[in-house]
A and B are shown apart, each in its own frame.
Chain A
Amino acid sequence: MEGLVAQVIGLSNPNDLNQLLTALKSSETVFNQNYQQIVPALQALDPAQHSLAYAFFLHHLAKGNLPTPNAAFMDSASRFLIVCDASQIQLAPDVFVSVARKLKTHVLAGAAPCPRRGVAPLLAGLRALQPNPEVLTPLHADFFQLCLLSRCYSAAAPVLDQDIFDVAPQQTGSTPTDLFLYCYYGGMLCIGEQGRKQHARALELLLQAVTAPSLAGNAIVAAAYKKYVLVCLIHAGALQPLPKFTSSCVKHVIDAEARPYNELAAAYAARNGDKLRRAAEQHGAVFAADGNLGLVRQVLASMAVRSIQRLTQTFLTLSLEDIAANAGLAGGAQEAEARIVRMVAAGQITAKIDGRSGMVRFADDTARGGGGASTSSAAAGVSAAGGGGGGSWDSAASVAMLDERMRAVLELGKRLQQAHEMVSQDRAYLTKVTARERSKYDLGGGAGGLGAGLAGPGGGASGETDFGPFSASGAAV
């Protein structure tokens, strides 16, 4: 063991890291035989300087029969995750991830779990593991889970707002399950946080989970879809159909598992308060079992809000009784009054109640952009940015906001272009495309087309479509 420690200290400079990695990987037996000496050895190492080795030592320490929770392990692992050197631990992502996950287990174990303790270390670990902020790591899901359990929504916000574009399984060792869990927990965090913008993001994440390529239905997808339905109803007022590239086995799972949710959505689409309430009650047990009762309650509440919002677009003044009757409120005028007061306070409608005559006067809010019922997140953001009121589009703030959005769009466009170029230069893709084109045009073509096919990649993106007929004529000659 001492030899190993000495080796670590000797090789922990950037040039010899690979050699060290091989040494550490091959010394499995050393760790197993000298399990008792791992803790003292850790004392001799510095988590920042010898990050790679530290990860291995911690990994083997946690692998043994360490009782959970173990305070000493938690301390050293937390410190390690926070101070570790990114370039070192990225050499052994699997070991690093396993240490972080062990920390999570320890944090969550025992009689008094303290998930909050793991939030900061995991965030630091996640950042260290990411080659750049757009890459998914296996730790995303674990980090989100801890944030959820400790209700540290604010800690997760920066990670949540960052879009993930790359999964890079070679660099971080992430698996499809990590992606599903990232989307699912991320969606749940967004739901937990209040505010419209977050709902939109939650929908995006949940939809990503549902539509991710999959050859087998899994429970995460089913759970994500259930939440997707409910959030969709709350946020958009209607269930948006799944995109057509959703894999068929996911559709099967959804059909089988989420029938109560689809029924709820159908009742919502019928704009029938009674029917919705009945659907919610009928499947109450299912919703409770899935842990979605709170969301279902929000769906019911949003129905009333939506119907009152619709009324504001139909009427200028309306008596409280009529509102209650139109919106299907069971509590009559009192409930209508209470609800309107609440909605006005929340800024969902603008209205004045005449207490004496029981009349409600709705202010004209069509000028406020989007006009209530189906306000998209963008429009909501604008009316906030523009300071509300009529003509909010004339302000400098809204121009700046538009500008910023345009820039975001252009940015994405550029990225798309890059991706397109990358694909069009990809050798495997080009051979496949030329092969397909050839089989389309040249049914009898044999080896003659092959030479032409190899010349293909130089042609680039625009060449690939013109290419087929060429090869066909070549073969014919």
Chain B
Amino acid sequence: MEEDIPVTDHGSFDLEAYISNYTGHGKVDRLLFIAERSTGKPLELEALRMAHDELKKTEATARYQEVVAKIDGRLGASYTLDRVWVENTERRSQQRGERLESELQGFKAALMKESIRLGHTDLGDWAYGRGDLQTAFKCYVRSRDYCTSSRHVLAMCHNVVRTAIELGNFVHVANYVSKAESTPDVGSEAAQLAQLRAASGLQLLHSRKYKQAARKFCEVGPDLGTSYSDVLSLHDVAALGGLAALGFLDRSELRTRVIANIGFREVLEAAPEIREVVHAFYASQYAVALRSLEALKPSLLLDLHASEHVHALYNAIRHRALCQYVQPFSSVNLAAMAEAFNTPIAALEKQLATLIMDGAISARIDSATKVLYASKADARATTFARVLAAGEAYCRDTRALLLRANLVQHDFVQVGVGGGRSKKDRLERGLYDMGGMGGGGGLMYGLGGMGLGRSMMI
């Protein structure tokens, strides 16, 4: 989804507090994302400055040069390109890389399995530190063949998943998360398990499987702590999980998985504002919930992972709120409802109309008096209609089947100028084709039932 709506209000956004939740690459990525999203605003420069400071501590010279180019001298002399540092770091890093490489060759020659694994992992770490994600990914994956214990497998998976998330390659994330989850000792370390679930939730979120993502996030326990701070903070898990759950889980599931879930409740403590929203929503105080959601929107739009999905999630939450609001009433005054939802009547009417057409709400709108009437479906009439339609379809299919059987029996096949295949061939094919028509047979039982159903109804 393209973000056309500019992020307008940054007044309340506390960059310092937000970014202190993260470390490592996650921190830099987020800062750069924020800078990109708030081009031309004071926030951009602040984010770039912090990114610059952060990068100076690492070996990622390419990234550093990128950021300096973005700053473009706007932050004074201390934020211009530091050539000496770049060259020094470059040289040091190069040497380390070469050393690691030659060590690895040595291990390989000596066929020392454990050392080869370590060598690959070290080389991956080095490339990761350099910001060369592709190489890092390759190195980590290569270490796979030399894993001997399940701890090694878990460590390898952890590295691969982290790199793949940064690369945005969520297929690999899914693969390696499931690989890690199927290793025997996965439950031994609570934090590691939580990390895997968070990563899996993130992957599902990005593949727009929101419902599953909500379930995955809700499984993340408070043990995650700050252990995954280079990818996700506890706050993120709470926010993404909470929003996805609001939008895509039904009421009972929302209760069991979010509100009554002790583990996730603790996670939600990390994001009190989301917790408030969830509780307000569950208590049917939609106006409150929607208003606080609106207030949260700007900061969510600045989040690396959330921003792309904010609109989808918000729409889903809104639709769910509308459906739940309408459900208990037989008639609803749209004016009152508009007030409760803090929306103009016309917009509300349009949204309701869309929901009715999609079949989410069974009701009809009286546009003249602005009242929504719930429409009770006539189960009897619909059943009759459906039975008749099924009967009709059965007759049609059976007629087609009988004719087709006859055509095959008489070898009544349109043949091209080329002559086609032999008769025997075609007969064989015809028999298989008839197998495809077998669906009609199943319907027959349905119609037997129709007779019974009819006598019961009349």
Q: Which A residues are within 8 Å of any B CB, using their own CB?
A: 163-169, 176-177, 179-180, 200, 204, 207-208, 211-218, 243-245, 247, 249, 310, 313-319, 322, 326, 357, 359, 361-362, 364, 366-371, 376-379, 382, 393, 399, 402, 405-406, 408-409, 412-413, 415-416, 419, 423, 429, 432
Contact = CB atoms under 8 A, between A and B. Distances in A.
B391 A409 contact: yes
Interface residues of B, number: 63
Interface in B364-416: 364-369, 373, 375, 377-378, 380-382, 384-385, 388-389, 391-392, 394-396, 398-408, 410, 412-416
B391 to A, nearest CB: 5
A167 B406 contact: yes
20 contacts: A165-B402, A165-B403, A176-B413, A213-B413, A245-B404, A314-B364, A317-B367, A317-B369, A326-B353, A359-B367, A370-B385, A376-B392, A399-B458, A415-B402, A416-B402, A416-B444, A419-B402, A419-B405, A429-B431, A432-B431
A116 B444 CA distance: 43
B345 interface: no
Q: Is the interface of B mostly helix, strand, loop or mixed?
A: helix
B57 interface: no
Contacts of A249: 416
Interface in B150-169: none
B433 A423 contact: no
Given A167-B407, A367-B381, A409-B447, A378 B400 contact: no
For the complex of A and B, list the 8 residue pairs with the smallest distance between their C-beta atoms, beginning with the closest. Answer: A216-B416, A378-B388, A245-B436, A214-B414, A317-B368, A316-B366, A176-B414, A215-B420
Contacts of A310: 357
Instruction: Give the interface centre of A361, A367, A378, A399 by most chain B CB atoms within 10 Å.
Output: A378
Instruction: Give the interface centre of B413, B420, B421 by most chain A CB atoms within 10 Å.
Output: B413
B388 A376 contact: yes
B400 A382 contact: no
A382 B381 CA distance: 11
Given A213-B404, A366-B377, A370-B385, A315 B414 contact: no
Nearest to B400: A208
A105 to B, nearest CB: 24
Interface of B: 353, 356-357, 364-369, 373, 375, 377-378, 380-382, 384-385, 388-389, 391-392, 394-396, 398-408, 410, 412-418, 420-421, 426, 428-431, 433-434, 436-437, 440-441, 444, 447, 450-451, 454, 458
Instruction: Give the interface centre of B384, B401, B429, B441 by most chain A CB atoms within 10 Å.
Output: B384
Contacts of A166: 406
Contact of B400 (A207, A393, A419): A207
B364 A315 contact: yes
B97 to A, nearest CB: 53
A179 B412 contact: yes
B41 to A, nearest CB: 38
A40 to B, nearest CB: 41
A423 B405 CA distance: 9
Contacts of A317: 366-369
Nearest to A180: B414
A377 B395 CA distance: 13
Contacts of B399: 163, 165, 204, 412
B436 A165 contact: no
Contacts of B356: 313-314
Given A215-B415, A244-B436, A370-B385, 15 more contacts: A165-B399, A179-B407, A211-B404, A212-B414, A213-B433, A216-B417, A218-B414, A364-B375, A367-B378, A369-B385, A378-B385, A382-B385, A406-B450, A416-B440, A423-B405
A314 B431 contact: no
Given A163-B399, A176-B414, A214-B413, A378 B389 contact: yes
